[in-house]
Chains A and B, each alone.
Chain A
Amino acid sequence: MRTEILQSPAFGMLRVTFEMRDDRIVAEAGAMVGHTAGVKMTTEMQGGFLAAAKRKLLGGETIFKNTFTGTKPGQELLLAPGPQGDLQSIKLRAGESFTLLSGAYVAHTGDVKIDTKWQGARSILSGTGFFMLQATGPGELFFAAYGGIEKIDVSRGVLVDNGHIVGFTEGARYELKQFGGFRSFFLGGEGVVCRFIGTGHVYVQTRNVANLVSFLTPFRPVKGSDSTKGKLFDAMKGD
């Protein structure tokens, strides 16, 4: 099975080419862009109903996962995430773990186990709709970010703004810190930051969902009786 990442870093998309009989890839529901006719898709609730329901309630991910299998060599499958940004992968050895933002998960091959029970990093992202998952190998994990992805070595100590954390490797330890003093928390813009130390890397995305939300909120449709009138006016304006 060949995998190739296209259009990085703006609109990272994964192209999978099936070569052998047992080639399969599991992907987030909704990630499929297209595939050669003949590629089989089965849907399951990964981990059983309860685990899936918990993932759904905690937000940032759908319950369902799709498994794609090729039926003839040469068939292809294209997968893409929701936001614009880069798509990267990491190969995990058996037992090796990677902590990943729930909204960043795209797909995995091999026997990667995805665990949402891991309490540790719940606090990192309080205030956003996402939480952290722990992925354990063997296999390859494909993840996408909102923005470009910078891979930073933690051994010198790195301070990362919370809204920009995508994931980090085993061996990286973190602690939460307030940025600057009281004054900068409210005025400086950066709120809570995470200080990473240890070994390995932290993956940082170059954009932040909270800013996107605050930018788009005024443009959201409004539920109300005068919304049709508003729509008609906009239509006449040639928007």
Chain B
Amino acid sequence: MRHRIEYGPAFAWLRLRLNAGESIDTEAGSMIARTPSIGMTTRLNAGRSVGVLSWLWSLIVALSRKFLGGETMFINTFTAQDDGELALAPALGGDIVRRRLTPNLPPLIVQTGSYLASAPGVSAELMWSGLRGLLSREGLFFLRCTGEGDLFICAHGGITEIECRGGYVVDTGHIVAFEASLDYEIGAAGSGIKGLVASGEGLVCTFSGVGRIWIQSRNIQAFATWLNPNL
């Protein structure tokens, strides 16, 4: 499988070249174009277990992902019957980056709305972000990505990679992904009640340790705040 990301950071799309027999999992609704030799199957976005009970569990997980995670319920798997090409993109304007996962690297924690596509060897588990996540307006769930293969993440805005060496603070609405080697804590930007209400910042995530963080240069909440007086 070969890939090319074009038109970043504004309206990036992902072009893939699949050889016969290769397949890729994608967020439902993200296909722009494909050659006819590539076929599509759809499944619930909850992992790959089998059986009625696990199908029910899949449905519950997928539904909760939809309401809380902001992601669709379904994953489209495109499989090449013959060599072919596929182009994918998310709904909002922004960039796409590729992360090649291997068992040696720390798992990647990805904001659910930022998942675009992944190779079959990558597993994206829904992760409950714990009580800390309750404070975050951006949702309670993250995806924990492990395995081997390419993972494509997208963002609203451009994507900037930050090397955290000690500590870094990021507004929660701007987090795209981070390495699981980092510790994090979610809290108010300013101090005390005044900080929470007055500073205008929503919530921030304070990362500590060593690892990489991917941030997006726009935030859909800030966009809504900016536009609302005009509605």
Interface residues of A (CB under 8 A from B): 6-7, 10-13, 28-39, 41, 43, 45, 59-60, 62-64, 66, 78, 80-84, 103, 128-130, 209-210, 212-213, 216-217, 220, 231, 235-236, 238-239
Contacts and interface: CB of A to CB of B under 8 A. Distances in A.
A30 B168 contact: no
A37 B223 contact: no
B28 interface: yes
A10 B10 CA distance: 5
Contacts of A10: 9-11, 93, 158
Contact of A80 (B66, B157, B162, B227): B157
Contacts of B89: none
A39 B223 CA distance: 25
B168 A103 contact: no
Interface in B145-162: 157-158, 160, 162
Contact of A37 (B73, B167, B194): B167
A30 B67 contact: no
Given A33-B174, A80-B218, A238-B74, A129 B169 contact: no
A7 B189 contact: no
Contact of A66 (B72, B170, B201, B213): B201
A11 B201 CA distance: 19
A10 B11 CA distance: 9
B208 interface: yes
Nearest to B165: A36
Contacts of B207: 37
B72 A239 contact: yes
Nearest to B10: A10
Contacts of B72: 238-239
A41 B204 CA distance: 13
B201 A29 contact: yes
A209 B231 CA distance: 10
Contacts of B195: 43
A34 B158 contact: no
A64 B199 contact: yes
A124 B205 CA distance: 41
A213 to B, nearest CB: 5
13 contacts: A7-B9, A10-B158, A29-B198, A30-B200, A35-B168, A37-B166, A41-B190, A43-B198, A80-B157, A82-B226, A84-B218, A235-B66, A238-B72
